[in-house]
């Protein structure tokens, strides 16, 4: 139970990665300003979180089961919070999907949207009425740079993030009238166990339904380039957690928060040309015409940029 003066923070998807690090970072706040409710679909996967939380577990951090794909689970989780009072909701739960779209079933696509989009909508719908009554609250959504700029062979995942960005941009205007802030956290590549395993798995998979050229472009062109980008520009879950904490503690939190300054020029391409041709043609040339040059550039960037630059996060204040 939260002590007087503590803000109640509910976080989805805390079994590993970014969600785990956000939960631990807030629970270990030096001033004990937060009472963290870390949630996950299966509490049998709590061990990593409990170990990382250390003495904070049972004091400033508690666990609740939550499946963001279930209306009943979402309702029951919020009902288990004292007075349903949540000051800060952090929507972190998400799933990825990568590969040629011809080989991805509609059911797989729906599962991605069920978690990445409708899961967020369920959570916001459940906590928003109480926040409106109190005229207070902060909703944070873990988006992605792919919610701003499309990336080849990430078609479905990108679409789910674009949908979330549009939903939240619309909601933010209404929520301001009730003194509720809505902030998007938009990382680029992040080094997590989930990402590593997914990249290893997709390289070994077969892709029925996709032609041989497309599969070759995916495995021999896209995947090596993606690996180069991850190694040169990737951040850690701790980087994203620190960024999220800054956004929470800002007196005037931004709506959009890119966590990696190295991605700012890439996103800017899209807004520099309203026809869309500049960004589409630039990414086409980088991938298919200048692949070797891109590999060399990423290698140089990896060598030259110190960790403080590659992990640089935004400073909302």
- Residue 87 known to bind ligand: no
pLDDT of the residue at 292 = 62
pLDDT of the residue at 5 = 85
Q: What is the pTM of this model?
A: 0.91
> Looking at 97-101, 251-255, 281-285, 313-317, which range is the least confident one?
313-317
pLDDT of the residue at 228 = 82
pLDDT tens digits, 83-107: 999 999 999 999 999 999 999 999 9
Q: Please check the confidence at residue 153 and state whether its pLDDT lies above 90.
A: yes
- Residue 163 known to bind ligand: no
- Residue 38 known to bind ligand: yes
pLDDT tens digits, 50-86: 999 999 999 999 999 999 999 999 999 999 999 999 9
pLDDT tens digits, 155-182: 999 999 999 999 999 999 999 999 999 9
pLDDT of the residue at 311 = 45
**CA 191/CA 237 separation, integer angstroms:** 7
- Residue 33 known to bind ligand: yes
- Residue 69 known to bind ligand: no
Percent pLDDT > 70 in the chain is: 91
- Residue 17 known to bind ligand: yes
* pLDDT (mean) for 292-316: 51
**CA 112/CA 97 separation, integer angstroms:** 7
Tokens of 134: 């109190």
Q: Taking a C-beta distance cutoff of 8 angstroms, is the pair 123, 68 a contact?
A: yes
pLDDT of the residue at 229 = 83
- How many whole angstroms from its chain centre is CA 172? 18
pLDDT of the residue at 199 = 81
Active site residues: 157
pLDDT of the residue at 297 = 53
pLDDT of the residue at 191 = 87
Rounded (10°) angle between helices 106-113 and 155-176: 30
pLDDT of the residue at 210 = 95
- How many whole angstroms from its chain centre is CA 157? 11
Nearest to 116 by CA among 141, 81, 133, 99: 141
* pLDDT (mean) for 119-123: 98
Name which residue leads in pLDDT, 233 or 317. 233
Domains of the chain: 7-214+234-262 (3.40.50.720)
* Average model confidence (pLDDT) across the chain: 90
**CA 128/CA 163 separation, integer angstroms:** 19
- Most confident residue range from 116-120, 205-209, 271-275: 116-120
- Residue 254 known to bind ligand: no
**CA 257/CA 252 separation, integer angstroms:** 12
- Residue 13 known to bind ligand: yes
> Looking at 124-138, 156-170, 223-237, which range is the least confident one?
223-237
Q: How far is CA 89 from CA 182, 190, 204, 250, 275, in A?
A: 10, 22, 37, 15, 36
């Amino acid at each position: 139970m939260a002590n007087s003066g503590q803000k109640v923070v509910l976080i989805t998807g805390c079994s590993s990665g970014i969600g785990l690090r956000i939960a631990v970072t807030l629970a270990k706040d030096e001033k004990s300003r937060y009472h963290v409710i870390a949630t996950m679909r299966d509490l049998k996967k709590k061990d990593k979180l409990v170990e990382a939380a250390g003495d904070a577990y049972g004091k400033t951090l508690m666990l609740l089961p939550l499946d963001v794909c279930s209306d009943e689970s979402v309702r029951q989780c919020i009902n288990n919070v004292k007075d349903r009072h949540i000051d800060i909701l952090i929507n972190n739960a998400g799933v990825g999907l990568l590969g040629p779209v011809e080989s991805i079933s509609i059911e797989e696509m729906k599962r991605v949207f069920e978690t990445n989009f409708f899961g967020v909508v369920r959570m916001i719908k459940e906590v928003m009425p109480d926040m409106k009554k109190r005229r207070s609250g902060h909703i944070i959504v873990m988006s992605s740079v792919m919610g701003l700029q499309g990336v080849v062979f990430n078609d479905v995942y990108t679409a789910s993030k674009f949908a979330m960005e549009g939903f939240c941009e619309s909601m933010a205007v209404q929520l301001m009238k009730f003194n509720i802030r809505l902030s998007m956290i938009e990382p680029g590549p992040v080094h997590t166990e989930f990402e590593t395993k997914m990249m290893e798995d997709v390289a070994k998979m077969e892709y029925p339904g996709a032609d041989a050229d497309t599969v070759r472009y995916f495995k021999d062109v896209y995947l090596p380039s993606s690996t180069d980008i991850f190694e040169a520009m990737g951040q850690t879950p701790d980087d994203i957690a620190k960024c999220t904490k800054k956004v929470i503690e800002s007196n005037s939190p931004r709506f959009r928060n890119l966590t990696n300054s190295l991605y700012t020029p890439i996103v800017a391409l899209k807004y520099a040309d309203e026809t869309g041709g500049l960004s589409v043609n630039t990414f086409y040339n980088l991938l298919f015409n200048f692949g070797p040059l891109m590999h060399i550039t990423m290698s140089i960037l990896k060598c030259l940029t110190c960790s403080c630059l590659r992990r640089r996060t935004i400073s909302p204040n």
